[in-house]
Chains A and B, each alone.
Chain A
Amino acid sequence: MRCWYFSEMAYHPAWEAGLARGTLRVVLPSSNFDPPTAHRLLNRYLDEFALCDEVGLDIMVNEHHSTATCMTVSVPMALAIIARETKRARLLSLGTPIANRPDPVRVAEEMAWLDVLSGGRLEMGLVKGAPYEIQPANSNPATLMRRYWEAHDLILKAMSTHDGPFNWEGEFFHYRSVNIWPKPVQKPTPPVWMTGMSVGTGTLAAERGHVVGTLLSGGTAKPMYDAYRARARELGWEAGPDRMAYAAVVGVGATREEGLRRADQIADYVRTAPVVAEPFTNPPGYNSIGANVAIMQAGPRAHRIVKDRQGNMIDHRRATVQQFMDTDTVFAGTPDDVFGQIRDFSTRMGGVGHLLFFGQGGHLGHEDTADNIRLFGREVAPRLAELSVSPAPAGIAAAE
């Protein structure tokens, strides 16, 4: 198993204001944002990413918009800095919301540039994006996935075509001369990742051999992984753990109490991040017709509810650390505890080869975050690496 540290680079000083208003996203005004405070936080968060390289962890960055939950507005911008501050870590963009980007060729250029800068350490997530990203981008949710697949195909073709310009006149994107410079180090492209929570996503990712990742709920992850493996088998290949990724909050401590306390503080992110004004949670067309029928049948629902391993319904806004552990949202305790929990989780899922280690969620201070990273990197990740082998693709030697 490979382990990727990530942090949303949260702006937690505005969370109280967001909770009082009933939304942390889309319509929370930036009068709640203090640039000098954010200056300190952003630089601190980047230091924490850099620390991962010293302790042998890989790194993941994501982006969101119009929100107090995540200050990263551009994955390539953040990864460009991190690429310069690290030598060994692989760098996962998870990712670029390509159906919300007007210019896929620009995405291909930026990803190729990052791959060259980092000496072939880039892994490239092409993601659908969360429902509340629709409004800030003002992208049409009813054609989202059609745009997604056209952008996906165009980006991969742009990165892997090296014999001069090609023409692209599609449904949504039009170029008469696609000929990107630079070209990436990794051939034909850096490894591609997708994210999702549905059986459909598992199937579609398997058809392309991409890595598929999901976030914070083991209950929905299993059917997606199973669908991936089944589709791969139909197509004549065996999908190993290296195709499956899972994101969880992880709190490690010298004692169990310390690990749980750290996880509890990081989990405040999970408690607040789903607090979004109602109209932005399910834009028309974002979810399938079947999913919308189920939503209407369920009636007005408060917030994100997930099932724990015993089938109990857990409300993320109010869950305790123990409840989060029962939904596989959190792994926490001593290094031994955490190793055991992740190993057991991977076994239950049929083999997960990538753990996306959510190790800072806003409220956790710098000293705790750094210690969490060091303990996880030195005492947990090496043991997880032996569980299943997910070799890194060969790049070129890191720039001296």
Chain B
Amino acid sequence: MSRTVAVAGVSLELEERGDGPPLLFLHAGEGLEPQRDWLDLLARRFRVIAPHHPGWGNSSLPDWMMTVDDLAYLYLDLAGALQLQDAILVGACFGGWIAAEMAVRDTRRFARLVLADPLGIKVGGVTERDIADMHAMSRDEYMRLAWADPAKGERDLMQLPETELAGIARGREAFARFGWKPYMHNPHLKRWLHRIDIPTLLLWGE
């Protein structure tokens, strides 16, 4: 079951499950997909709090909200509103970018940071593509890059109800709004990563 909370004028849909130390999970660009295993696996040991980002799921996306900075401040406000203490901040892919932007700003409510295949920085040269152009490849190519086992990620869109399809379309649009240019990174973020002052686990798939 999810519930809705209002933060900074945004109506956020939250998934919550499990008991234990608090863990704020920020999902990838594809969406939270709470029916998949990942939240349940985390919920075995943690109290998992997983918002649908603004524009994904049933979370609202105000016109003014256009950058990942906005999302970082929004979730710092959420952590405050939920009075999180010593929480674990976990971000996957796009969620990892948001988590890093939060951590360079304020880590007071967090004890540890986990970044799984995060977007958000580019270290290569002008003509090098550090971050694959997800919007310039076929769906099949994308699935091969995004999933160790692409079959696990497949969804038969033609079988899904209209509300869920609308959610997918909204999420894709929101992902583009936040990440189109510069493509899926903030050129300044890498200059401030030294400010992260909590133990950080970086997970990187090949």
Interface 9-residue window, one of A140-148, A329-337, A347-355: A140-148
Contacts of A138 in B (CB 8 A): 180-181
Contacts of A135 in B (CB 8 A): 135-136
Contacts of B157 in A (CB 8 A): 296-297, 299
Please provide the chain A residues from 271 to 317 with a CB less than 8 Å away from any CB of chain B in the complex: 277-280, 283-285, 289-290, 292-293, 296-297, 299
Q: Which residue of A lies closest to B167 (CB)?
A: A289
Contact B138 A289 (CB under 8 A): no
Which one of B138, B165, B166 lies within 8 Å of A278 (CB-CB)?
B138
Q: A140-B177, A279-B137 are in contact. Are A297 and B169 (CB under 8 A)?
A: no
Give a binary string over B161-178; 1 marks a CB under 8 Å from any A CB, 0 the rest: 010011011101111110
Contact B158 A289 (CB under 8 A): no
A289 to chain B, nearest CB (A): 5
B63 sits at the interface (CB 8 A): yes
B66 sits at the interface (CB 8 A): yes
Contacts of A289 in B (CB 8 A): 166, 169-170, 173
Contact B169 A299 (CB under 8 A): no
Contact B169 A279 (CB under 8 A): no
Contact A285 B166 (CB under 8 A): no
Contacts of A143 in B (CB 8 A): 66, 177
Contacts of B138 in A (CB 8 A): 277-279
Contact B176 A284 (CB under 8 A): yes
Q: Which residue of A lies closest to B140 (CB)?
A: A278
Contact B158 A293 (CB under 8 A): no
**Complex Cα distance A379/B162, Å?**
52
Contact B175 A284 (CB under 8 A): yes
Which one of B63, B158, B162 lies within 8 Å of A146 (CB-CB)?
B63
Given A278-B139, A279-B137, A293-B166, 18 new contacts (CB under 8 A): A27-B136, A135-B136, A138-B180, A139-B181, A140-B180, A141-B176, A141-B180, A142-B173, A277-B138, A284-B169, A285-B173, A289-B170, A290-B166, A292-B169, A293-B165, A296-B165, A297-B157, A297-B162
**Complex Cα distance A174/B162, Å?**
40
Contact B170 A283 (CB under 8 A): no
Contacts of B174 in A (CB 8 A): 142
Contact A142 B135 (CB under 8 A): no
Contacts of A146 in B (CB 8 A): 63
Which one of B136, B139, B158, B169 lies within 8 Å of A280 (CB-CB)?
B136
**Complex Cα distance A284/B172, Å?**
6
**Complex Cα distance A143/B179, Å?**
12
Contact A293 B169 (CB under 8 A): yes
Contacts of B137 in A (CB 8 A): 279
Give a binary string over B133-149; 1 marks a CB under 8 Å from any A CB, 0 the rest: 00111110000000000
B153 to chain A, nearest CB (A): 16
B138 to chain A, nearest CB (A): 5
Contacts of A299 in B (CB 8 A): 157-158
Q: Which residue of B lies closest to A143 (CB)?
A: B177
Which one of B139, B165, B166, B173 lies within 8 Å of A284 (CB-CB)?
B173
Contact B173 A296 (CB under 8 A): no
Contacts of A285 in B (CB 8 A): 172-173, 176-177
Contacts of A27 in B (CB 8 A): 136
A333 to chain B, nearest CB (A): 41
**Complex Cα distance A293/B162, Å?**
7
**Complex Cα distance A171/B64, Å?**
9
Q: What are the 9 closest A-B residue pairs judged by CB atoms, nearest first? A: A142-B177, A292-B169, A284-B172, A142-B176, A140-B180, A285-B173, A284-B176, A296-B157, A293-B165
Contact A297 B176 (CB under 8 A): no
**Complex Cα distance A289/B165, Å?**
9
Pull 20 A–B residue pairs with CB atoms less than 8 Å apart, ordered by A. Answer: A135-B135, A135-B136, A138-B181, A140-B181, A142-B173, A171-B63, A277-B138, A279-B135, A280-B136, A284-B172, A285-B173, A285-B176, A289-B166, A290-B166, A292-B169, A292-B172, A293-B165, A293-B166, A296-B157, A296-B165
Please provide the chain A residues from 1 to 38 with a CB less than 8 Å away from any CB of chain B in the complex: 27
